Structures are given as C-alpha cells and as structure tokens.
Chain A
Amino acid sequence: MREAITRLRYRYWPDHWLGEILSKRWTETAIPVFVLLIVGFWLSQSIHNFLSLSSLADTARQACEIGFIALGMALVVIVGGIDLSVGSMFALTDFCALYTLDVLGWPVPLVVLATIICGMLLGAVNGFLIGYLRLRAFITTLITLIIYRSAFDLLIQGYSNDIAAAFPDLPSWNFIGGGAVFGVPSVALLYIVIAIFGHIFLTRLRPGWHVTAIGGSRRSAYNSGVAVRRTIALCYVACGGLTAIGALFFAARLGTVGGDIGVGLEIIVLTATVLGGITLGGGRGSVAKSLVGTLIVLLIINGLTTLNARGGINRMVLAGILLTAAVIDIRWLKNRSRIISKVYVSPTYLALPPPPVTEIGGGGPFEQNDKLRDVALIGLGKIEAPEDVIFDRENNLYAGSRHGDIIRFFAPDYERMEVFAHIGGQPLGMAFDRSFNLYVCVGGMGLYRIAPDGKVEKATDETNRSLYSVNDDSRLRLADDLDITDNGLIFFSEATVRYEMSEWPMDGLEARGNGRIICYDTNTGKTHTVLRGLKFPNGICVASDGQSIFFAETWGCSIKRYWFEGPKKGVVETVIDNLPGYPDNINLASDGNYWLALVGMRSPALDLAWKMPGFRQRMSKRVPGDEWLFPNINTGCVVKFNEKGEILESYWDLHGLNHPMITSMREHRGYLYLGGISNNRIGRYRLQAADPNFAQYEKRWGLQ
C-alpha cells in the first residue's frame, strides 16, 4: 500500500522540474516579480482608487522617469561599478533643460539634445575617472555627487528666479511633460522603446555581453580581449545620458528647479536596482529586473505617501528594504549553485523483479563461468577507455580513448597503433556506413563522421526541442551508441538529457527515464527525436528484418525493440526484461543472433534503494559522491540472445582480472573483441564454432 503510494507519487509528480526551473536564469527575476505582485495587491486593497486609470498613468510617469535612471544604474552596476551621483546629475540636467529653454529660449529639439549631451558629459567625468584612471567607483561618484550638487546650488542661486518666472507654452514641450498616445504617457512610450533596446543590447549584442563579462570577471574579460576601460567609461556615459532623459521628462512635467530636486534619488534608484535582483558587484542583471525593482520601490513610496506616512518613515522603510534585498542577494549568490545542486538530483521509483540466478550451480543461461579468463590483451596500458571497438575491411581495429582520439591498431597482430583521428570528446559507440565512413557517438559532443582518410566532420549535435521539457534538450549531451539502417538512417541513443557524461552516476541515482533515441538521416542531414523517456538507453542494433532496432535500457535492465517502418511502424516491444545486470552495447553475431554486453551487475542493496526514492534523495544530499551506492559496474559479462529474447549463452570473467567491466563486444573473423570504458585494454577471445570469415559491416553492406 505504502509502496503503491510512493510509486504513484513519483510517477505523476515531476520532482525533477524543481531543480531544472531553479537552474534557469529567469527564476531570479521571478522572485522580485512575486514581491511586486504582493505589494501591488496590498496597495490596491488599502488605497482607494489605486488601480484607476489616472492614478496608474500618474504612477507610470513617475515610474518611467525614475526607470530611466534605474536603467543607467543597472548598466553601471552590471559592469561592476556603482553611481551615487545620479541624484546630482539629475538636478543638473534638470537645470540644464529649463535654463536652455526658459532663459536662453532654445527650441525644444535643441534643448533635448543639449540636456542629453550635458548628462553624458557629466557621466563621462565619472567614466574617465573610473574607467581610465581606475579610481574606485564608490569614492569617485561620492565626490562627483558633492561637486555636482554644489554646482547645482550655485547655479540655481543665480537663475532660479528667471526660470520660475518663465511659463513656456510650447506644444512639443507639453507633450513631453504630459502628453499621451492612446492613453499611454509619452514617457512610458520612450521607456518601452529604450527598455526593449536595452534588453536586446544586454542579451543579444556583443557590447552588452562585454558589459556582463566585465562585471562577472574584469580580468577574464581583459584577457579575452574586451576593451575593459572603454566599456566601463561608456557605461557611465550612458548612465549620465539616461539620467538626463529622466530629468527632461521631469523638467517638462513640473518645470521647477527647487533646491531639493534629486536629493536622495540615488538611494531610491539603488534600492530599485538591488531589489530587482541586480547583483551589487556586477555581472548579473537585466532590464526586466530593473523595471520590476523600480515599480516595487515606487509603489511603496507612493503607497506610504498616500497613507500619510512621514518623510522620515518613508526613507527608513526604503533603507530597510535596501538592506534586506542586499542581504538576500548576497546569500542567494553565494548559495545558489549549492541549492540547485541539492535539489537537482531527484530520484524516482523503480521496481525491478528479483534478478535471475547467476550463481555457479544455479543453472540457467546466466550461470557464471570463467570463459573469459584467457582472453588475449590488445594495447594493454596503451589505450584508455575503449568504450567500443570496430573493424574496417583491412581488419584494422578502431577504438576510442578518453583523450578524445580514435586509435587504430593494425592487423594482423594489433601491436602497432596510431591515432587515426582526434575528435576531442570521449568516443563511445561506433558504426561503419556503406562507404566505410566511421560514425561515432561522442559524449558531450554528438554524432561525428570520420572519413576513411581520417577527416573528422560533425554529423549532428542537436535535435528538436521537446515541448514539455523545462531544460533545453535540443543539444545532445550524451550520445551513446548507434547503428545504421539500409536506407541510411542512423539511430542513436542519448543516455540522458539531464546530465553530462561524467555525471552518469547521478542519472543512475535518479533511475528515471531521462534518455531518448534520436534519428539522424544521412540523406537529408535532418535530426529528430524518435523515443523519449527511456531509462539510460544504450546499445542499438538494427534487427534482421531491417525495419526495427533493438535497444538496451541500462537502468531498466531490459532490451526493447522499436519498428521504424513496415506494418508495425512505431511499435515498441520488450524483448528481454529483468536482466541480472545493466545492458550496454548490442552487436550482431555471426550466427544471426545478437551479442549483448552487461556493463555491470545488479546488487540487492541498490535494487532496494531504487524502490526508495527518498532514501536516495537524502543520500545524494548528505553523502559525498565517492561514497554513493552505485550500480556495480566492476563486474560484467557478455551474453548472446536471439530475436525471441532468449538468452543462449553467457561469457564471464569470474575474477574480474582482465575485464572487470565490459561495455561492448564485436565479433570479427572468429574472435570476440571486448571493450570497456574504464579499462586500459581490449580483450580478444577465440570463439568456438563461429564463422571464421564473419565481419559485421562487410556482411551488413553485402560485401561478403
């Protein structure tokens, strides 16, 4: 009963989504958005007319004015700095706009231009000092804050009366201050345009990436050839320009130059920036975060004002929020990857029936023997991690190595070896096509093709993205084994879409169907996913009818058959279930049956643990990976099965001296060759009563 509940819970509740969602960058924006919704809801409940159109428009005007400054601040913070002088710059540019308009009587376009240039110049001072002279951003902008403020105080003493006396009535100026298009305030329109550009700039354009890169690691960015000083300086210039835009709208809306304009503005903007989730320290942030932060701060200020809170309280609340947000930000930044790594692994329920007997004297096809004791060894100590082995028409042997090479051993004695091709990733399953191009599944890279002259080409490294997958599963993470049909379709398995090759034990801990089978069409070059939700699909072999493939599900301990054409097209049938070990590669035998490698054997302790997901979940969190309960892949064997799914015989290395692990085997001219991904050798075993001329791919392509 309890087990049934466990089974259903893990079957229908997608535990793995939590980790996948948390590892998305956008979840960092989701939290401020959530806060924004709460604040908005609270205010709409406690303030009458809060959601009315006029109230919203008014909020929007203020929000956008501050929003421009917040965008500038966001840019500066992302690049790794801070700008405390925005308040003073705001005041000065406000003065600049009104002075040129009211006192000098310039036309509005010229006023706009002059104001923005003024802002950029003010920002350029910061930028020059911080970017090129490499002063500390905090001190520098604190000083310019004071200087700009003093300059503003001096200027308004001389001109405030002139400005206050003028009442310019220009339609274009009024449009800037209070105009609207279809009810959307002019300021909001411009903000939207700039925000969209800012988003594209930061996420899609090279300079935007440079900004993020510098904030993330200044030295690495410098080493990568980014113009660090110039980029930083330009960020401050942009910050000044954006502040000037905000000031322009402010000037057009209110038309005053009071002494307290822009005082304390830097705190508001900084709070908005941090609250939105833009990390002080640089490297992380987005336009959306800046917008959300601005809205939250503005709503709170307006809400408190409407609720008749005094100015002191207002500022104290703001400061409190800033502090809290900064603390959360720092803690989150520090612990994010830890939290994700703790929740990402999400084991599920997998019940296997008791395995068939393997003990000596127990009978049955899996009864252990010592047939593989006397294998001859090829390349002992010279090759590392030959997952698969294959032969060309000259009987030369090819095997992958963990250094990312395809090694060729020369017939007839396989003593001499050379690097046939360098790929760079761990080669796994291999197959020859009709013209003896070697197709190789490469862990972490995809499907590659090596021409007979050793030229390496990528065949495919992506497939169609699944609709319901949270993780982007379009890239291939762990292409594993393959076979080629008569029509040139390559079916290959991708063992897991949730982990990298080196992390396969985590997939074993999960025991979920994370893998899939993908088809690459050599005729069209197109790739598409054929089957999903498989438990570590591994070996693949085209069946004798040419219309179906056998594939092994390693954690499912089963062999299945899938028809890709013919009357049974699309059908998946289980051929063998409940193997005593974990199946790996499948290959053709000379007698028309199939060889299957069992890479490891089941242990009762793990079989039980697979029925207890909570146990494994806690184990993954609390026990270091080296001490986890693993699938036992220190012992393996080779079995032969027929198309009916009957096991015909098995070959064991009882003491595990030569081949503790067998991931693949290939029959070639009367011998069986053994590969193992954690071995430093290839085994060669003389088969009794096997066709001494059989060569898999020569027979396959009709050359025998």
Chain B
Amino acid sequence: MFGGLRDFALSFLGRGEATLTVPSFDGALKPNQALESAETLLECDAPEDLATDGGKVYLADGASLGRLDGNGMTTIREFDRPITALASLPGGGIAVTLNGREVRVYSDAADATPSATFQGAGMHSINALAPAGDHALYATDGSATRNADEWAWDLMERGRSGRALRLDIKTGGITELAGNLRYAFGACGADGFALISESWRHRLIAVAPNGASKIVLSHLPVYPSRVSPARSGGWWLTAFIARTQLVEFVLREPAYRKRMMAEIDPEYWIVPRLSSGKSFKEPMQGAHLKTMGVVKPWAPPRSYGLVIRLDASFKPMFSLHSRVDGFNHGIVSAVESGDWLYMIAKGPRRVLRLPIEGLAKEFAA
C-alpha cells in the first residue's frame, strides 16, 4: 500500500520515477557532426542490418541479402519475406531472421537449403542476431506483441515483453536467457556473456548463460540498439533514436497516449522517429522554431544519428553524431571491417562508411 502511495506522490510531484530529466550529451557523448561527413556508400530501399566476418560485409536490404563491394552491393539471394536481422558466423556461415519470426542458418551464404531453422518458441520480432561461440546464436526478440517495424507502438505501450534468446545450432534448442525486457534490440557475444541492448530502459546489460544479468551501461540519453565488436577491443553501440523530455512526458500521460495511438497517424505521433522533418504535421517543439533560417542542432531530437564506441569495460570512449540539423539519422547497425566502419542510417535509407583511423583521436572526450 505504501508503495502505491509513494508512486502516486512521486507521479504527482514529478519526482523519482516520474522525473522527465534526460541525461545530456556530455563527456564521451559530446556532440559532433561526424556522421554527416561520412561517405554515403549506397542508397537503398529498406536497409535493415549489417554483418561481417571481418572481411566481407553483408547487408540485409528488404528481402534481399547482399554483399558490399567497392561501391555497391552484389545481391546474393532473395527471400520471400523481409530480413529483420543478420549475423555472420565463424567459418563463413550466415544467419538471417525472416520477418522476425524465423531464423535460418546457412553454412554458406549461397547455399540453397539452410543448415538449421528455428521457428516458434514465441519468436515474434527477432531484430538482432550474433554468434555465440562456434555453434550457437544470440538473438533478441523485441516484443511479443509488436512486429519488428512497429517498435514505436511498443514504446508507447510501455512494452516489456522483450527477450534475449540463445539458439543452439547443433541441437536446435532455444533457451531464454532473459525475459520481460523493455524492448531488446541488439545482441553481441562478450566472453561467454551476451551483451543485450534494452532500449526502453536506455541501458546495456550483460547476461550470463545461466540467466544472471548485470547492467554494464545505463542512463543513456538515447535508446540503444544493435551492438557489434570492435577489432581493437570493445564495441560499437548504435542508438537508433534519442530521448526527449516531451516523449518522456507523454510516456507518463496514459490518457493522451491512448488517444494519440487511436486517433493519429503514427507518422505524426509524439514519439522518436528514424527520420524527421518530412511534413509539417509532425509535432513541433519550442526549440525547433527556425530562426533567421537556422534550425538549432541542439533542439530536442525527433530523430538522431549516434554510434558510441565502448571500450572493453563498456565505458564510452567517443561517439559519432548526426544532430538535429543533420540528415544521417536512425543508425541501426554499425560493423567494423578492414579500416572502415560501415553503418546503416535507416532514416535516409543509406549505407555509410567512415575510416576508423583517427576517429578516436579526433572525437575522444
């Protein structure tokens, strides 16, 4: 009873859980425009995920799987459903998720038949895959009710049905490592642990094979998404959308949220998007007011582009940004191959790349 009273008091006073404060982009997250200067490798229809074995870079674009080369993409194969997650396996294999519900593993990307297939087990919106040792996969299932592309609904419904799974390729078994996650979006193996992005809680957790989890990075000013290993140790963490106080406020306003979801086109909701500024029907916030022809880059981001470089102990080292006045927003995937960092900016539907050398020096806090 006291808990209920306390919750009521907190929500009435706007304190504790009910505070709307969003951490600022500071320290290693200090803003820059690095992503705006990135080279656009490719403009495609529906880029979704990248995977690499350290050399070749695979791209999932809608229902087609391709390989990046030189300055374009070579299509390897087409599926009948859109690909929602992609992983490159040790030994040359590849794993894809189709429409969030079916995971297929191919020993070779060009193989006609998959060497393993996972279905069922409540898989609904698998949105990230990563190798877990030689014969297993980590996967994140964003939501048990919403499809992978309907994450905005899950956010507005305050969904907490995300899961982290381990798929055993040899036995075909599926183990749930963690459940009740507030949208799991992004997995990566890390010394026997699974590194999982829990987006709506703005944090990164490490889950042990026995299910024990610990928070390794929290209080992010963004919603983290897929994560991939960096060659020199550490990780590349992407953040597909950023937090704003208005969204935090709407999340605490059930009546408005309900009516908004029922009455308004999702494009125009008060919710972070992968890209913005396309229509005047999008909600405008105070700082968005164009003054003397200029949009302030510090305005609250409806869409944002961010990749964070974490060191081996999960501390942010530096970050690459595309701010409110930029274009390369909605970075959902970043992988390192050769001397390059390849990224998908889902907002403008681009594949970007940046030379890694010098980034740390230029942008380190």
Question: Taking A622-B249, A660-B293 as contacts, is the C-beta distance between A609 and B265 under 8 angstroms?
Answer: no
Question: Taking A608-B256, A612-B259, A615-B255 as contacts, is the C-beta distance between A603 and B290 under 8 angstroms?
Answer: no
Residues of A in contact (CB 8 Å), total 37
Contact A630 B264 (CB under 8 A): no
Chain A nearest CB, measured from B161 CB (Å): 26
A135 at the A/B interface (Cβ < 8 Å)?
A: no
* A455-488 vs B, Cβ < 8 Å mask (1 yes, 0 no): 0000000000000000000000000000000000
B26 at the A/B interface (Cβ < 8 Å)?
A: no
A680 contact set on B, CB distance < 8 A: 292-293
Q: In the complex, A237→B285 CA distance in Å?
A: 58
Of residues 256 to 292 in B, which have CB atoms within 8 Å of A's CB atoms? 256, 259-260, 263-265, 268-270, 280-292
Contact B256 A627 (CB under 8 A): no
Contact A627 B285 (CB under 8 A): yes
B299 contact set on A, CB distance < 8 A: 626
B113 at the A/B interface (Cβ < 8 Å)?
A: no
B265 contact set on A, CB distance < 8 A: 604
Chain A nearest CB, measured from B266 CB (Å): 11
B245 at the A/B interface (Cβ < 8 Å)?
A: yes
Main secondary structure of the interface of B (DSSP, over half): loop
Of residues 289 to 340 in B, which have CB atoms within 8 Å of A's CB atoms? 289-293, 299-300
Chain A nearest CB, measured from B95 CB (Å): 39
Contact A608 B286 (CB under 8 A): no
B271's nearest neighbour on chain A, judged by CB, is A605
Contact A609 B246 (CB under 8 A): no
Q: In the complex, A627→B243 CA distance in Å?
A: 12
Contact A635 B285 (CB under 8 A): no
A395 at the A/B interface (Cβ < 8 Å)?
A: no
Contact B292 A629 (CB under 8 A): no
Q: In the complex, A656→B290 CA distance in Å?
A: 10
B262's nearest neighbour on chain A, judged by CB, is A608
Contact B244 A603 (CB under 8 A): no
B357 at the A/B interface (Cβ < 8 Å)?
A: no
Contact A678 B245 (CB under 8 A): no
Contact A604 B281 (CB under 8 A): yes
Residues of B in contact (CB 8 Å), total 33
Question: Taking A606-B283, A623-B245 as contacts, is the C-beta distance between A634 and B268 under 8 angstroms?
Answer: no
Question: Taking A604-B268, A615-B255, A622-B14 as contacts, is the C-beta distance between A628 and B290 under 8 angstroms?
Answer: no
A633 contact set on B, CB distance < 8 A: 284, 289
A634 contact set on B, CB distance < 8 A: 280, 284, 288-290
A567 at the A/B interface (Cβ < 8 Å)?
A: no
Q: In the complex, A618→B252 CA distance in Å?
A: 11
B20 at the A/B interface (Cβ < 8 Å)?
A: yes
Chain A nearest CB, measured from B13 CB (Å): 10
B253 at the A/B interface (Cβ < 8 Å)?
A: yes
Q: In the complex, A358→B293 CA distance in Å?
A: 23
Q: In the complex, A678→B296 CA distance in Å?
A: 13
A628's nearest neighbour on chain B, judged by CB, is B286
Contact A635 B280 (CB under 8 A): yes
Contact A678 B290 (CB under 8 A): yes
A583 at the A/B interface (Cβ < 8 Å)?
A: no
Contact B292 A625 (CB under 8 A): no
B263 contact set on A, CB distance < 8 A: 604, 608
Counting chain B CB atoms within 10 Å of each CB, the highest count among A602, A603, A680 belongs to: A603
Contact A625 B264 (CB under 8 A): no
A679 contact set on B, CB distance < 8 A: 292-293
Chain A nearest CB, measured from B268 CB (Å): 5
Contact B290 A629 (CB under 8 A): no
Q: In the complex, A680→B289 CA distance in Å?
A: 14
Chain A nearest CB, measured from B128 CB (Å): 30
Contact B245 A627 (CB under 8 A): yes
A632 contact set on B, CB distance < 8 A: 280-284
B282's nearest neighbour on chain A, judged by CB, is A603
Contact A678 B292 (CB under 8 A): yes
A603 contact set on B, CB distance < 8 A: 268, 280-284
B264 contact set on A, CB distance < 8 A: 604-605, 608
Q: In the complex, A606→B268 CA distance in Å?
A: 10
A601's nearest neighbour on chain B, judged by CB, is B280
Q: In the complex, A439→B117 CA distance in Å?
A: 78
Contact B287 A605 (CB under 8 A): no
B246 contact set on A, CB distance < 8 A: 619, 623, 627-629
B285 contact set on A, CB distance < 8 A: 626-630
A661 at the A/B interface (Cβ < 8 Å)?
A: yes
A281 at the A/B interface (Cβ < 8 Å)?
A: no
A385's nearest neighbour on chain B, judged by CB, is B292
Chain B nearest CB, measured from A1 CB (Å): 14
Q: In the complex, A661→B288 CA distance in Å?
A: 13
A384 at the A/B interface (Cβ < 8 Å)?
A: yes
Question: Taking A608-B263, A622-B14, A628-B246 as contacts, is the C-beta distance between A678 and B256 under 8 angstroms?
Answer: no
A607's nearest neighbour on chain B, judged by CB, is B264
* B143-166 vs A, Cβ < 8 Å mask (1 yes, 0 no): 000000000000000000000000
Contact B281 A678 (CB under 8 A): no
Q: In the complex, A621→B14 CA distance in Å?
A: 10
B14 contact set on A, CB distance < 8 A: 621-622
Chain A nearest CB, measured from B155 CB (Å): 15
A621's nearest neighbour on chain B, judged by CB, is B14
Q: In the complex, A624→B300 CA distance in Å?
A: 11
A198 at the A/B interface (Cβ < 8 Å)?
A: no
Contact B292 A605 (CB under 8 A): no
Contact B287 A626 (CB under 8 A): yes
Contact A627 B280 (CB under 8 A): no
Counting chain A CB atoms within 10 Å of each CB, the highest count among B20, B244, B256 belongs to: B256
Contact A627 B291 (CB under 8 A): no
B288 contact set on A, CB distance < 8 A: 630, 634
Partner of B249, one of A604, A619, A656: A619
Contact A618 B253 (CB under 8 A): yes
Contact A608 B292 (CB under 8 A): no
A364 contact set on B, CB distance < 8 A: none
List 10 additional A-B contacts (Cβ < 8 Å) besides A603-B281, A604-B264, A630-B284. Answer: A605-B283, A608-B263, A609-B256, A612-B259, A626-B287, A630-B289, A632-B280, A632-B282, A634-B289, A679-B293
* Interface CB pairs A-B, < 8 A, 18: A601-B281, A602-B281, A605-B268, A612-B255, A618-B253, A622-B14, A623-B245, A623-B249, A626-B299, A627-B287, A629-B246, A629-B283, A632-B282, A633-B289, A634-B280, A635-B280, A656-B290, A681-B293
Name A residues whose Cβ lies closer than 8 Å to a Cβ of B.
384, 505, 600-606, 608-609, 612, 615, 618-619, 621-635, 656, 660-661, 678-681
**6 shortest interchain CB distances as A-B pairs:** A635-B280, A605-B283, A632-B284, A601-B280, A680-B292, A626-B287
